[in-house]
Amino acid sequence: MIQEKRLLNEFFELLQMYTPTLGEREIADVLTKRLEELGFTVVEDDGGTKLGGTAGNLVATRKGTIPEAPMIMLTAHMDNVQPCKGVKPQLKDGLITSDGTTVLGADDKVGIATILEALRTIDEQKIPHGDLQIVFNIAEEGGVNGSRVMNSSLLKAQYGFVFDTINSPGRIVRKAPGKNRIEARIIGKSAHAGNSPEKGISAIVVAANIITKLPQGRIDEETTANIGIIHGGRETNVVPEEAQIVMETRSRDKEKLTELTDNAVRTFELVAREMGATAEVTVIKNYSPFKLAEDHATVQLAKRACENLEFPVNITEGGGGSDACFFNAYGVPSVVLGVGIRNPHSKEEYIPEKDLYDTARLAVELIKEAAKLKA
């Protein structure tokens, strides 16, 4: 059904484009042209301007051949983590890898390539379908910022499918955590460390005491906390007046996320005050959790598509952020689909060749299965 050679060639072409976060201009121009050639009306929003990047989010829409069928949305993100310059993809023994000096960039160019191949396939084979919406986001890496700032009024779909998670097609993530970033500035009192250390209040010592009282690691099956950054001080002969701690809290339960974050903030402030210091704490809400019931229509549509292709179905929960967090918040019920990525965000990233082709087949099947529904 799909043309494997064409898909592989386009995937390799996309992998070799330099697309760091907020540097997506080249690929955005290429994708705009290809979507327009497929009959889509493409709108680029002002997300790039808001974030200081070179391109915005792409939202492409095309009328279907079955007016009564619901509109579905297929999405992937355009950016890669570093190092992603000079990617040299290679196929050996059924695996697609880089040459080991960069990431591969399958996260998430596999999503882009397979969506494009699915669109060509349904046109070439004249497969009936409902209205389609394709969204290619910027700045997913490093905080899911592209979808956070996107023009959500452009989204019209009733079902959303995000092609962007690990493992083979058949994995359906219906639930994922929200994340908060907590930045704390600890302010003590400086003094000469040799002549009068007793006159100072070491912000580093205060920070150390706070850290021993903060929740860390896995709190429960759906909740985690991590202290990621600490720094402070100027010289060894000065009692440090200032230190910084940056941490994150995550949970797939919104109430747990709020409670964990609030407790962390109170710990910063209380321990600092007890030790004669102060803590200036800022909470940045990166994204909210999303949760779809297993019997939700979006989950079941994805499940049927996988079963039609005889893929082993694994309806599960994720531990990382995703554009789906914002799509769900914007009113488009969305799941995240396995696309074959292994070891993302590393130079050991790879994807089985078979998973590349199977992901494109899944995209086609989703379009076909959605066409059977009533809007």
Q: Which residues contact 78 (CB under 8 A, 6 or more apart)?
A: 19, 24, 27, 28, 31, 55, 58, 108, 112, 136, 137, 138
Q: Which residues contact 21 (CB under 8 A, 6 or more apart)?
A: 53, 79, 80, 81, 138, 139, 140, 141, 142
Collect contacts of 305-310 with beta carbons under 8 A, ≥24 apart: 305/362, 305/365, 305/366, 305/368, 305/369, 306/169, 306/170, 306/172, 306/362, 306/365, 308/365, 308/369, 309/169, 309/358, 309/361, 309/362, 309/365
Residue of 10, 140, 349, 355 marked catalytic: 140
Active site residue 140: yes
Q: Helix 203-213 and helix 254-274: axis angle, to 10°? A: 140
Sign, CA dihedral 198-203-208-209, equals positive
- The Cβ of residue 261 has, within 10 Å, a number of other Cβ atoms equal to 23
Residue of 10, 79, 349, 365 marked catalytic: 79
Most distant CA pair in the chain, distance: 84
Query: 259 phi and psi, to 5 degrees?
Result: -65, -45
Contact indicator for 299, 292 with CB cutoff of 8 Å = yes
Separation CA 336–CA 312 (nearest Å): 16
Active site residue 108: no
Query: 65 phi and psi, to 5 degrees?
Result: -100, -5
The residues carrying an active-site annotation are 79, 140
